[in-house]
Structure 1
């Protein structure tokens, strides 16, 4: 049923349930921030180097000039997965989502979705600028070049976009199996995108973990903010 024709209704506020959700949000936010700090201070560097050594031993470099792992066909597959976290692809998906929500006349829901994704993109760019060793002189290069490899932008934006999309989908699914399938599939896709960034030589494990943890931290913050607003409005 369209949102425009749906009557808003009061709901019985379950304090115990909301307290559990808040506890989970705080726990995940704290864990994500802790992992990001670990990557920033270098606690994951040694493990990241061991992963690189393992990949070199098992797959080798694509050629003597590259930093990617595995043969050409393997690199091609990884590049395809990486593209799913790129700005052009996510922008295309956002346009598709905008069309869908416009047809469904669910502008408020799309505005929330858009705010989470764009807000995450802004946070990502701020982090890259903050950790950049050298900044470009021309403003346009902030958008057309990689300012910093830390954190992984593809991983961070894939985490934000696809998990947000999955949550928006599962909220209106009554069957637990459907919700579980959606979240597991989405998590697997994010894992493949993150792994492809390492296997293609674009990022280290540390940079990818930083991107994932930063994305999760932003989502947890948005989740807590949403619960706070709903609690005050006492509305679903």
Structure 2
């Protein structure tokens, strides 16, 4: 039995309302994240978070030896390795791998969108980094070498921009919710771990890392909304059902 025309119209109208609602909600959240970053930057410049930043870093070190972080030695070694994941070299390599993956899947327009999103995020990161000249933490010894300004954290910001943006856009290639959740969840875990490693190693204040996360999340969310809109208008490749695709290959 075919679905009545009135029911189809109602379903189509509901889908449109739901789509518009999701876009509006995403836009509001992105604006909220940007406003929060601005407020955090203002409070940071006025020195309101100085005590919190200081106490947080001190809590991660032994009080009788500030050069030694809490926990066993292997954690420090792991943090040094993890923080390298947020370096420009690794992030560039990850981006190239993701672009190559999309090209192999013949999703050429989505490849261009990802490249533009990552490039735009890198530009924003550079601009924000140059606007502030906050000094690096001086309450604990640095466990890895650093040279640039402290606010916002480049590792936290760039890893959030790259990993979350790539995850959100690549996740748009799939319809399966579990696949999407896994991709985005993995990127979020990597972003959070990299940010924490900067604190554990004593090279950033907590507010530096929080600011980096806010910018990266806002940018990834914005890029996700753009991808949804372009797919809705069929300007880029549509999501595929990876379970169906696997069954067809078998």
TM-score by length of 2: 0.72
Consecutive unaligned residues of structure 1, counting only runs of 5 or more, are 1-11, 135-144
Correspondence for 1:53 among 33, 37, 58:
58
State the structure with bigger RCO (CA 8 A, min sep 6), 1 or 2: 1
Deviations 1:108-148 (A, max 9, x none): 111111111111111111111111369xxxxxxxxxx8442
Residues in 2 aligned to 1:178 and 1:133: alpha-carbon distance in whole angstroms: 40
CA–CA separation in structure 1 for the residues paired with 2:227 and 2:176? 23
Deviation at 1:20, TM superposition (A): 1.8
Partner of 1:77: 78
Q: In the alignment, is the contact (CA less than 8 A) between 2:60 and 2:70 conserved in 1?
A: yes
1:114 corresponds in structure 2 to 115
TM-score (norm 1): 0.75
In the alignment, structure 1 residue 124 sits paired with structure 2 residue 125? yes
Given that 1:39 and 1:207 are in contact with CA atoms closer than 8 Å, whether structure 2 keeps it comes out as no
Deviation at 1:72, TM superposition (A): 4.7
Query: Superposed, which structure 2 residues align to 1:19-168 within 5 Å?
Result: 19-41=20-42, 42=44, 43-57=48-62, 61-63=66-68, 72-132=73-133, 146-168=147-169
Q: Select the structure of larger CA radius of gyration.
A: 2
Quote the offset at 1:161 in angstroms.
1.4
Q: d(CA) in 2 for partners of 1:107 and 1:93?
A: 18
TM-superposed deviation, 1:69: 5.9
Distance 1:227 1:58, change over 3 A: farther
SS at match of 2:36: helix
Alpha-carbon deviations, 1:88-123, whole Å to 9, x = none? Answer: 001112222233233333221111111111111111
Shift of 1:176: 2.4
Q: Tell me the distance in 2 between the aligned counterparts of 1:107 and 1:202.
A: 39
SS of 1:173's equivalent?
coil
Change in CA separation of 1:112 and 1:78 when aligned onto 2, cut-off 3 Å: same
CA–CA distance in structure 2, aligned partners of residues 186 and 98 of structure 1: 16
Q: Which moved more, 1:50-59 or 1:208-217?
A: 50-59
2:187 alignment counterpart: 186
With over 3 angstroms needed to count, the CA separation of the structure-2 counterparts of 1:16 and 1:120, relative to structure 1, is same
Q: Contact 2:79–2:200 at 8 Å: present in 1 too? A: yes
Give CA deviations for 1:22-76 in whole Å, capped at 9, x if unaligned. 232123213311321232122544432331232235895335xxxx665653222
CA distance in structure 2 between the aligned counterparts of 1:206 and 1:21, rounded to whole angstroms: 30
- 1:58 to 1:193, Cα distance in 2 relative to 1, 3 A: farther
Moved over 4 A (4+): 57-60, 68-72, 224-231, 233-236
Q: Which residue of 2 aligns with 1:174?
A: 175
Deviates more, 1:167-176 or 1:184-193: 167-176
Unmatched segments (≥5 aa) in structure 2: 1-11, 136-145, 239-250
For residues 33 and 49 of structure 2, the distance between their equivalents in structure 1, rounded to whole angstroms, comes to: 14
Q: CA RMSD in A?
A: 2.9
Inter-partner Cα distance in structure 2 for 1:60 and 1:71: 14
Matched with 1:219 is 220
